[in-house]
Amino acid sequence: MTKLSVNINKIATLRNSRGGNTPNLIQIAKDCERFGAQGITVHPRPDERHIRYADVHELKKVVTTEFNIEGNPHEQKFVDLILAVKPTQVTLVPDSDGQLTSDHGWDTVKHKAYLKETIAVFKSHGIRTSVFVDADLKMVEGAKEIGTDRIEFYTESYAKDYSINKEKAIKPFAEAAKLAAQLNIGLNAGHDLSLNNLKFFKEYVPNLLEVSIGHALISDALYFGLENTIMMYRRQLQ
């Protein structure tokens, strides 16, 4: 079964909008696991506009499933955080400072030397690595060269085109997934996956190990409740 990792950035955004500790980020992470989430994902950014670096240290104390931390390692502060916390997985994302949300994957060919060196550091500390990439065969081939354990498909194009032509939208992801399997690279996916499009993605993308979902899942929880929503997403992955 593909694992569901719940991204709790939006919970931190809501908390930070009023100050204080409501909603309680740590308690919600524990609840997500209790309700069936198989992982917790956070993406601390340099400006700490949602997840704070202090949150990551506190989450490490309570997360009992897989802990996935996303971010751009160009900031030494981020690298130091990962090495101190030692999450289950670090996902390298090429975000620029102040970027609203992730909008592209790494060029694993152009940045081969940098990524290879960075990944080696994390792996030497026993941390599983994943690299955010587009569904491009050249980028998947490049991922093999940099030594990453996994790649995470950036799925916004799939989500955007799903309602127009879902067969066309899924094709590059299915092809890239097959190549990843041939190269013995693990496969994750995330960005704009939802109750509407997740089942089809799971059915046509082979060897999918994990999906990381935040915005859509937290939004759905406003209507369906957090526990029910997590189970609804889990059912899409069965």
Of 18, 58, 67, nearest in space to 39 by CA: 67
Please list the active-site residues: 43, 70, 191
Residue 104 contacts residue 67 (beta carbons within 8 Å): no
Q: Are strands 208-213 and 186-190 parallel, antiparallel or unpaired?
A: parallel
Task: List 187's β-bridge partners, or say none.
Answer: 151, 208
Q: Report the alpha-carbon distance of residue 196 to residue 207 in Å, rounded.
A: 21
